[in-house]
Amino acid sequence: MASNESANNPTKDWLAPDSTQRDNFSLAPFDGLNRKLTAHSDISNVDTVSFHSQVDLVKESAVDMDTVPRTASAAFGLTPDEILDMIDPKSPEKLTAFGGVSGIIRRLHSNAENGLSEPFDARTAAFGDNTMPAAVLRSFWDFAKEALKDRTLIILLIAAFAEVAIGIYKSVFAEDKDPLGFIDGLAIIIAVVVIVLISSVNDYRKQSQFQQLNSFSSSLSRVQVTRNGANIQIKTTELLVGDICHITAGDLLPADGLVIQAFNVSTDESAMTGESVTLNKDAVNDPFLFSGTKVVNGVGRMVVIATGRNSMNGRLMAALEAAEPEPTPLQFKLGGLADVIAKFGTYIAVGMFVALAILYGIFHRNDGKSVVKIVNDIINLFIIAITLVVVAVPEGLPLAVTISLAHATLKMLKDNNLVRHLKACETMGNATTICSDKTGTLTQNKMTVVVGVIACRPFGTENLSTNSNDETALIDMFTKRTADKAIKNTVRNADATIQPDTFSGLPDAVLSHIARSMNVNSTAEEVVTDAAEQAAAVAAQTEAISKDKKSRKGDGKPATEFIGSKTEVALLEFTQKLGRGYKQDRDNSQVVEVIPFSSDRKRMSTIIHVPQEQRSGVESVLFAGQTQIAADTNWLFCKGAAELVVNLCDRYVNAEGQVVPMTDAVRAEYEAAIETMASCALRTICVAFKPLSSGPSDSGPQIIVNEETSADASEAASDDSNLILGGIVGIKDPIRPEVPAAVADCIRAGVVVRMVTGDNITTARSIAKNAGILPSTDALPEYAVMDGPTFRKLTPEMMDIVLPQLRVLARSSPLDKQVLVNNLKRLGETVAVTGDGTNDAPALKSADVGFSMGIAGTEMAKEASDIILLDDNFASLTKAIIWGRSVYDSVRKFLQFQLTVNIVAVILTVVSSFLTSIFSEGKIPMSALTAVQLLWVNLIMDTFAALALATDPPTPELLNRPPARKSDSLINYDMWKMIIGQSIFQIAACLGLYCGKVAWIDGGMDVLVEGKGIDHFTDSYTLMGTLVFNTFVFCQLFNEINCRVIGKDLNIFKNVNKNPLFMMIVGGSVVVQVVIVQFGGVVFKTTSLGGMDWLLCIGVALITLPLGAVIRLMPDFFRKQE
């Protein structure tokens, strides 16, 4: 039986010291390891009697904040600087000077077994919390200065200042004084400032959004620590110096620490040192662990010695500035397109300036103008040309991607998608195949033992045969003729029915031994999940341990929960139903050797030494009438994939609890039972064991992680033969209710879903049918389902034949998944992959988009992924497809809109300038759109339009089309039709107004030719320009609505009410345009319009909407046949 002290500390880590050893505490409950580590480290209990008085001293002296760290550190035996000197560089000598690891623990007022005790205020004051310093963010003015580095804006500002200077000179010194001569230049300067401010605000907001995402990502991380003698989970940011932190393979170390207990722990410190060689860690030879490095192998515990800013990773982070996200593929492609358009715009502007300057020289060489007047005219020409460049450069294209990504990534959080790499968001929209895990992604990851057989006694079925005393009960229950219906009923009930007489007649010692096999051969354990509930939970657990049931809080909710492998959790919960909780078994067992589960072995083995007095004579029952087992015997417990472990067994426990030889008939019935359960989508686990000849090992415990490279592991694996079969259980993990519909959505969207699982091929096939990945019919393509061993033997030629058909890969390894991903990419697929384990990292990295699991995923898997599924749900992955397509479409909408604006603005400016230059002899060339008007157009068509079109919410209709191919152009046939059609109409309308309205007003172009006086000309030209400007702007606003839809859908107002930002921007632009026209005459060179003029402008512009419908309905005469 467990000692009283052990019973009073039910949450004690089973790898921590046994209660009987606390007076002479070393590192572990294993005698050999104790002797080895005590000789080197001498880690003992730490006296904390005087700690609270020291805390009070710290609080009393904490007036001057500058002295808090030094005073707080004085309450301990170490300062952050002393710790830094010890670890950077690693200094075993300094560690020894502090008394080794045990001395560090003592100085930090911690306890290697029980961890920290409250209060924590002094500790936080002395060493800080575990909040990593954020990368230095750029200020608003940094973005403003960057925006002002744009060369075209700089040239425009220089010209504007020159015009202001000339305007001031003319208003003061010229004979024909013009008191408002500087207005044009000043208006341009103000317009540039407004553009820079709006651009800077947008960039600053974007930075804040991405910083918000990073902060959210950091808040997800949890770590397991021991505090007040209980194992609890806390946020990584709550970790403190002195905490006893549990580490396991796949972790990214959250702080710097020293190894207390390590079982074959090795780390990858390449993030710190640049060297990719893994380093073995233990409490003797190399106990130094660094934040930000990866735990590659093993499990263990460490004492935290530096957190946050004081840790090695924190110091590196503090030196970094916030890095701009790397351009995504779409941003890169649009940036190239923008450069090409900018070059054409520049060439046109330069050509226009040169041509107009020549015409100006021809027409004005003998008109007697002053030098100041000529210079002013040339500057006006130059400003028009430079403004044309500003308008022609589509800086809004990359901006549209950034805005759309920033909007999408924040919204995707609500759909449980945390985007780590922006490129993944857009890439996911064009994914052609998804390679999905089964457990937790397609299923609920709520595993429950629902059916099985223990010692030839079936449970969980309705037609139990309880009066049988031999293996015929097994045969009767699991033949395919009778078992399917019973098992399926049990599956629907989703719980194992343990009848009172199910195991009657089975010796209690045998049932306890089989339960012990599940309890000790496991890494799952029960932890307190809320530190605030810790004290109450520990008390509740102490009371519950005697009752062998899970502790509960006063409100009936669990105060604790199991963490670890869900399969192991299901087994531990099952042993609780048997009335044999795991804690007592672990407290009374000494681990000699552990061979963890691996995807290659498909099983886990643990060698345990159980003292004779704790075995309750189980050997005498199991081996009745056989050779007596020695008192110092170790036991090997094994569990794993049922069809594999059964083949390792040459004996089994019969219904009377005795070990008998395995006959071919019994083995066949066990295999039939496994097949039947697997066909009902159950995971089958076999539990087996055998006695070994030697007692506790003096070499202490080992955890062997890589069997193929370890001689010890090979020897231990050979010991897995000649096992005794104790039982088989069927574990149900229900399909998530939303998964079949989500899979159907993917298929409708042209995305192939493939399931990659470690389950056997029968279970995998059944689950794939339930999820909709495979059709329910039995007639499947030849290569639709395949197992890992067969897949590994495929030649490249066979891969090309198999992969288009393959939908389920069973009994697969992480390497199989990576090979699958690489071959799919070789065939031109855009591949998304899900993964949760450390070994999945290569496949996640290889995929175009890697999804890790936010709940079940290791830190290394999350680090290798592009998107974290916060709920581990396949349906959330489907939503990522919708958002990805929404980003892609948003950019194409804006591209369609902006190219139309660019074409119309450039052609209208150039043509109108040449018209006035040719037909207005004696007058300077004048564009239909002034520089200030063009800058306003640039503002609404770039930043505002990008905001409006890039934030349209996604719709389920996005899944009604196949994904875009990598070779597809951004601008498709339908978009070109719309761009060209709208451009032709708008150019014709604006030029028609430019010429026709003046002719209708007063003599048409005769005004320009005959010359009726400068005032008459100016008034007519201002009215003409206002009409053109107003019509042009409203054409863009209506076309912005038209561009909400790409393709042949005629309903351009669909879901417009779901995008209030779009309506605000369009509505706000209308209001500002009205103000500009009616009241901005001096600055914008406009005149107020009457009712008929407004009706004319809006009426002409409104044609863009029905024209858009006509263009969509036009036959596709020139579309390439695909």
- Which residues are part of the catalytic machinery? 437
Angle between helical axes of 973-1002 and 1104-1113 (0-180°, round to 10): 140
DSSP secondary-structure letter at 250?
T
Reference 544, options 579, 517, 499, 574; nearest CA is: 579
**What's the gap between Cα 1014 and its chain centre?**
66
Helix (H) or strand (E) holding 528: strand 525-528
Q: Are 684 and 678 in contact (CB under 8 A)?
A: yes
Q: Are 1038 and 1102 in contact (CB under 8 A)?
A: yes
Rounded to whole angstroms, the Cα distance separating 72 from 56 reads 10
Buried b (16+ CB within 10 A) or exposed e, 120-132: bebbbbbbbbbeb
Reference 948, options 900, 904, 898; nearest CA is: 898
Rounded to whole angstroms, the Cα distance separating 239 from 128 reads 10
102's CB contacts (< 8 A; 6+ apart) are 41, 42, 43, 44, 112
865's CB contacts (< 8 A; 6+ apart) are 420, 835, 844, 850, 851, 852, 857
1072's CB contacts (< 8 A; 6+ apart) are none
Rounded to whole angstroms, the Cα distance separating 303 from 106 reads 11
Structure tokens at 849: 């988009």
DSSP codes joined into one string, 382-444: HHHHHHHHHHHS-THHHHHHHHHHHHHHHHHHHTTEEESSHHHHHHHTT--EEEE-STTTTB-
Q: Are 839 and 845 in contact (CB under 8 A)?
A: no
DSSP codes joined into one string, 736-792: PTTHHHHHHHHHHTT-EEEEE-SS-HHHHHHHHHHHTSS-SSS---TTSEEEHHHHH
Helix (H) or strand (E) holding 731: strand 723-732
Structure tokens at 77: 């035996």
Rounded to whole angstroms, the Cα distance separating 1092 from 998 reads 15
Q: Are 986 and 1097 in contact (CB under 8 A)?
A: no
Helix (H) or strand (E) holding 313: helix 312-318
Q: Where are the alpha helices (DSSP H) in 920-1013?
A: 931-939, 945-949, 973-1002, 1006
255's CB contacts (< 8 A; 6+ apart) are 130, 239, 241, 243, 245, 291, 304, 305, 306, 307, 308, 311
DSSP secondary-structure letter at 495?
S
Q: Are 592 and 634 in contact (CB under 8 A)?
A: yes
Q: Which amino acid is at 741?
A: A
Beta bridge partners of 593: 607
Backbone phi, psi, residue 651, to 5°: -140, 165
Beta bridge partners of 787: 810
Residue whose pair of structure tokens reads 């800086």 in the numeric block: 395
Instruction: Quote the Cα angle for 816-819-824, to 5°.
Output: 125
